[in-house]
Chains A and B, each alone.
Chain A
Amino acid sequence: MSANDALLRLVDASFGYGAMPIVRGVSLEVVPGELVALLGSNGSGKTTLVRGLLGLLPPLAGRVERSPRLRLGYVPQRETLDPLYPLSGFDVVLLGACRDLPFYRPTGAPERERTRSALEAVRAVAFSGRRYGQLSGGQRQRILIARALATQPTALVLDEPTAGVDPETEKAIVEVLQELRTEHRLAVWMVTHQLEAVIGRVDRTLVLEEGRLQSGRGA
């Protein structure tokens, strides 16, 4: 993979809150068509690194280089979303499809079409009419992946997408991510603390320990 292909590059970057760095001296590249698992135990700095990748935290040190082709799609932990909202799965995905829509323009046919395509890509059409709060964990995860996909990203970042789901659902979710990597040539980065969920299924794993990237290896 050529360095010029990189959508995002961290060079000796540190991220944290206030002046306190939590992730230190990280160098990595996000390239298209690669499925990467970022592993680490609780408190290792995974979420901080994800926030740095997403641009939600500025680097405290080092450099962040973003390609003009970079469009990040983010899939948060599904527990962070309130099921009280009376939104259907389709409504949730539609929010992502409106990424480039100015506030004064109502959603139209192109946004709805993009929503349908995203739902089809993650095989979530069947339950997309149901209320988001009434879906199972795996179904919600697919809806959130579809929402990120509807933003027409070049890179997907997923925070604990397989947490709290049964092994079958976990396998299905990773399969969807593999398809997105292959068919849409997306860079897919997933954060997880479950090594067994990704072993043998991803192109590369990175391990974060106490705020430092310890290793990188092929699957």
Chain B
Amino acid sequence: MELLFGPGLLFRNAVIGGLCVAIVCSLLGVYLVLRRLVLLGVALPQAGAAGIAAAFWISAHAHQPGGAHTGALLGSLVATFGALGLLVAGQRSGRSPAEWGVGALFAIASSATVLFVALNPSGDLEVTNMLRGELLTVSDADLLALLVASALSLALFFSFRREILLASFDAEFARTIGRNPARADALLFGLLGGAIALGVMEAGPLVVFGFLVLPPLAALRVAPGLGAAMAIAAAIGAVCSLGGFSLAYRADLPTGPTSVALAAVFWLALTAFARWRARPGRRASPRAAGLVALVLCVVAALGCGLVFGMEPAAPPLSRGTLPDLAGRGPVAVARFRNATGVPLRIESGNPLRELPRVIGRGSGEEWTVTDALQAQASHELALRDIAVSGFEADRAAMTSVPQDAASAATLARDGGVTGPVLFGCLRRFTVTGTGLLLVHLDLSLVDSSSGDVLWTGQARGPFSVRSALTTRELLVDAAPAIFAQAFDAD
């Protein structure tokens, strides 16, 4: 749970980003389905992906966090809205059926994506991850943009929901009562284009298409009304996003496709339910059906919560060189010392927490690499079947950073810790231009009562972090390997 939502979380951005994409796409997708424009939902995300691949190619992207991401976002926006504009222009000319243009767009965008990736000598991994729907690499800046865009989209959508419905259901009638359906259409497609462009950046075209179509299809099977359909679609999207992430985490699968597969399960289940309900002699009760769908969502959400709360069912890892600590009580992990001379600050996963710092009024505790390593150390010990007091308890018991193992024992004793204490000193944490993380971490396990050193270990060396773009992602990639080396090496 802590890995996902805790302050040192490694996946929080991805979870929140995935939720945003799922909810907004599921909601807007209801209109895509009702207007029989489902094919647009597959072609536009592909156009966005082609735009991103083109941006990576143009910037010859390797590892330039920030600038390259902005370029990719621009590429996605330009390609998505450009494709949308071309389709609208083609449809207005009325010379050919709309699906001809959509089909051609999909074919062109798909081949363009592959070609741009092939032409890019260094950025293929990022683009491939994106195409697979690997949600793990959502940066803070991306998340902030996604949160703002999602909030704005939802606000606009709900403000103009009546105009959008009128324009979609009966545009001619809308015109006769003084409404402007073209403007409402422009708003709807603008929102769709924005959601698709940003969604493809965060989750890939497959995930965006999946959420645009499957939750709305499932919801429309059972919803008693349009408002209920939107609520159910958004709920299914949210549950599938969280549940998919949970399943992917446990089964080591790509997150996006797992979420989409879960949405497909919802669609199949609700379709079967709707057919069963429609059998002759069975009284249709749409409100009851809607209630069933919501109950399904709640049950699934509770199930996801339970899964999140459980540790992976894998067997415990080897203790390596760690001593047998039976009878000594749970191990506490002291705050790690940063001896690198660099602050190694990690930007908060919550953009609102970043605002005070951005405007120069930062205060309070800031999350650093050593804090994340402390949290990871506690987690790694638990994975090796060693009793730990827990990260939060350790932070509360030992509020300052010890200078060495002896002072860690003293601090622990003063904080009421009676068992062994693990202390770490980070001496190097540098990323090379070739995608390697150079680390030097010294670990000591001391008895808090006597101050005796029970064990020492060390992690030194380069760790591959080729696909990581942020410090948080560096830790996702490297932290398990760092502790594996420190604990397991003879």
Contacts and interface: CB of A to CB of B under 8 A. Distances in A.
Given A86-B220, A86-B226, A131-B286, A103 B176 contact: no
B357 interface: no
A84 B162 contact: no
B414 interface: no
A72 interface: yes
Given A86-B229, A87-B226, A88-B225, A80 B172 contact: yes
Nearest to B166: A95
A51 to B, nearest CB: 8
Interface string A63-104: 000000000111010001110111110011001101101011
B172 A74 contact: yes
Interface residues of B, number: 25
A92 B168 CA distance: 13
A84 B34 contact: yes
Interface residues of A, number: 28
A72 B176 contact: yes
B91 to A, nearest CB: 17
A168 to B, nearest CB: 26
A81 B236 CA distance: 28
Contact of A76 (B159, B170, B178, B229): B170
Contacts of B34: 82, 84-85
A82 B160 CA distance: 21
A55 interface: yes
B163 A103 contact: yes
B160 A95 contact: no
A104 B177 contact: no
Contacts of A56: 172, 175-176
A54 interface: yes
B223 interface: yes
B229 A82 contact: no
Given A54-B176, A82-B34, A91 B166 contact: no
B225 A81 contact: no
A151 interface: yes
B176 A87 contact: no
A167 B265 CA distance: 47
Given A84-B34, A86-B224, A95 B169 contact: yes
B478 interface: no
A101 B179 CA distance: 11
Nearest to B160: A103
A151 B174 CA distance: 11
Interface string B141-179: 000000000000000000110110110111011011110
A107 B165 CA distance: 14
A101 to B, nearest CB: 8
Interface in A87-127: 87-88, 91-92, 95-96, 98-99, 101, 103-104, 107
Contacts of A55: 176
A49 B169 CA distance: 23
A81 B170 contact: yes
Contacts of B172: 56, 74, 76, 80
Given A85-B34, A131-B286, A91 B226 contact: yes
Contact of B169 (A81, A99, A101): A81
A189 B229 CA distance: 37
Contacts of A104: 159
Interface in B166-206: 166, 168-170, 172-173, 175-178
Interface of B: 34, 36, 159-160, 162-163, 165-166, 168-170, 172-173, 175-178, 220, 223-226, 228-229, 286
Given A74-B172, A85-B34, A98-B162, 8 more contacts: A56-B176, A73-B176, A82-B34, A86-B224, A95-B173, A99-B178, A103-B160, A131-B286
Ordered nearest first, which 10 A-B pairs have the shortest CB separation? A74-B176, A99-B177, A54-B176, A86-B226, A86-B229, A86-B223, A103-B163, A86-B225, A85-B169, A103-B160
